[in-house]
Structure 1
Amino acid sequence: MPAPGARPAGSVWQGRGVYFVYDRSQCVPWVREPGDAQLRRQKISRQAAELITGDCLVLDVETTGTGRDDEVCEIAIVDAAGHVLLDTLVRPSREIPVEASFVNGISNAMVATAPTWPEVAERYASIVEGRRVVAYNATFDSRLIRQTHQAYGLSAPVLDTDCLMLMYAVWNGEWDKRRESWRWCKLIEAAGESGVANPDGHRALADAVMTLGVLRYLQARSNGRRSPRKSR
């Protein structure tokens, strides 16, 4: 297309009218204006880039359940470069129900000799202090960590969290009519759409690594366009 202010080099008669033609040296590539969906994804990509360049942490926990008295039974934290800062099983104050073990693969035998939360809490606090923490469903992970502190009468550090599940929901762009918001995707679904491998399903470190992979994917798509794997 002609650059702003370019003058026609000539004209051509074609069918029903005259069309101006321009010297190629005075033309610029035609760039399609981004639509609302692309602009929305660009914003999410910038947020992901800000988190990664700001050296965020990525956290994941496995738990004894989802209730108000459940606890953390495994925790992992990696930094933005993928270095493992924390990866440990945790022996909870209650037994892990069979249904929870079925989901996360962690049995009572596996945690029998693991440290308790009071033995992990100081190290955990020193890692997250003053850092932005990314988690997939950050509200859940934060609540379970807080509950686990409370189970031992400990004060939980306040986390500065960003929820990748909510970020990816905006990126993905599927509207949930019932909830009247963007549809939440499971981590494994987001990872699959992002081309991120699932090395060892539903353990804390594997999920933290997958979460970082999805975050990196969002950062890399700064033009707001999806990879060829999926378009909408």
Structure 2
Amino acid sequence: MPESSEANTLRAPQRRGTTAQINTETTGLDDDARIVEIAIYSPAGHVALETLLNPGEPIPEDASEVHGITDQMVAQAPSFSEVLPKLTEALAGRRRLIYKASFDSARLQHELARHHQQAGHPAPDAAAQAWLGTWQAEDVMKPYAEWVGEWSDYWGGYAGQGLHGGHRALGDCKALLERLKEMAKGRGFALSEGGSKPNRRVVRP
């Protein structure tokens, strides 16, 4: 029987030498949003990378209200291109875990494409995809939602849960690790009421 996404993700804390949590903070949620902070953290407590990034454009006020990062804070920060070599080195050979991987992966794709375009690469999108293709981001948000087991009839699935890391890159990385540890404790489970709903995990105090 194939493993559930929850069971597979729970292996992460046990593979301490090869696992990295990644998180970004950005100028917004749109397709053109730029990264203003990035962090890479290991279950052993090692900060492989933590840095603000200068996006080269103003940070919208509503974004700053979420993560607290302002134009003044990033004025002297490095660009994504300047940090890329260290980012590549920090992720080499590691299993990458992200909370809502689709968003962070898309932001990295966008930054990589811009980097290659500015460097004069003839196919910047393909070059960006080639970099991302060297590793696969694993999303922790879905397995954590399954583990919590808060069923949503509206969505027809388990409701997404907040990360509660304070909306800063390193804080969110540490919060992700806490969610993994929480799942690994293996708190009990119970069948949901009604035969049409999947089994739902029960969070016990």
TM-score tier after normalising by the smaller chain length: 0.7 to 0.9
Q: Which amino acid aligns with 1:50?
A: R
Q: Which runs of 5+ in 2 are unaligned?
A: 117-123, 190-200
User: RMSD of aligned C-alpha atoms?
Assistant: 2.1
Out of 139, 154, 157, the position equivalent to 1:163 is 139
Mark the structure with the bigger radius of gyration: 1
Counterpart AA for 1:202: H
For residue 169 of structure 1, report the CA deviation from its aligned partner. 0.8
Aligned residue type for 1:54: R
**1:49-60 maps to which residues of 2 (within 5 A)?**
49-55=10-16, 56-60=19-23
1:213 alignment partner, one of 175, 178, 188: 178
The answer to whether structure 1 residue 61 and structure 2 residue 37 are counterparts is no
Deviations 1:126-146 (A, max 9, x none): 121232111111111111111
Q: What TM-score, normalized to structure 1?
A: 0.70
* Equivalent position SS for 2:40: strand
Structural mapping, 1:54-203, within 5 Å: 54-55=15-16, 56-153=19-116, 155-156=127-128, 157-158=131-132, 159-188=135-164, 201-203=166-168
Percent identity (aligned): 32
**Cα deviation code 1:68-105 (max 9, x no counterpart):** 11111000110121211100000002211111111110
Give the structure-2-normalised TM-score. Answer: 0.78
* 3-state DSSP of counterpart to 2:88: helix
Q: 2:151·2:159 contact (CA, 8 Å) conserved in 1?
A: yes
The correspondence of residues 215-230 of structure 1 with structure 2, limited to 5 A, is 215-221=180-186, 228-229=204-205
Contact 2:40–2:50 (8 Å) recurs in 1? yes
How much has 1:45 moved relative to structure 2?
5.9
| Cα drift, residue 178 of structure 1 | 2.8
Note the C-alpha offset of 1:208. Answer: 0.6
Q: Retained in 1: the 8 A contact 2:148–2:203?
A: no
Alignment match, 1:47: 8
Alpha-carbon distance in structure 1 between the residues aligned to 2:68 and 2:140: 23
Q: Would the aligned equivalents of 2:187 and 2:202 in 1 still touch at CA under 8 Å? A: no
1:16-41 deviation per Cα after TM superposition (whole angstroms, max 9, x unaligned): xxxxxxxxxxxxxxxxxxxxxxxxxx
Could you tell me how far 1:228 is from its partner in structure 2? 3.5
Measured in 1, the distance between the counterparts of 2:58 and 2:183 equals: 38
Please tell me whether the aligned partners of residues 60 and 76 of structure 1 are also in contact (alpha carbons under 8 angstroms).
Answer: yes
Q: Secondary structure at the match of 1:140?
A: helix
Contact 2:6 2:144 in 1 (8 A): no
SS in 2 for 1:125: helix
**SS of match in other structure, 1:95:** coil
Alignment of 1:21-40 (within 5 A): none
Aligned length: 177
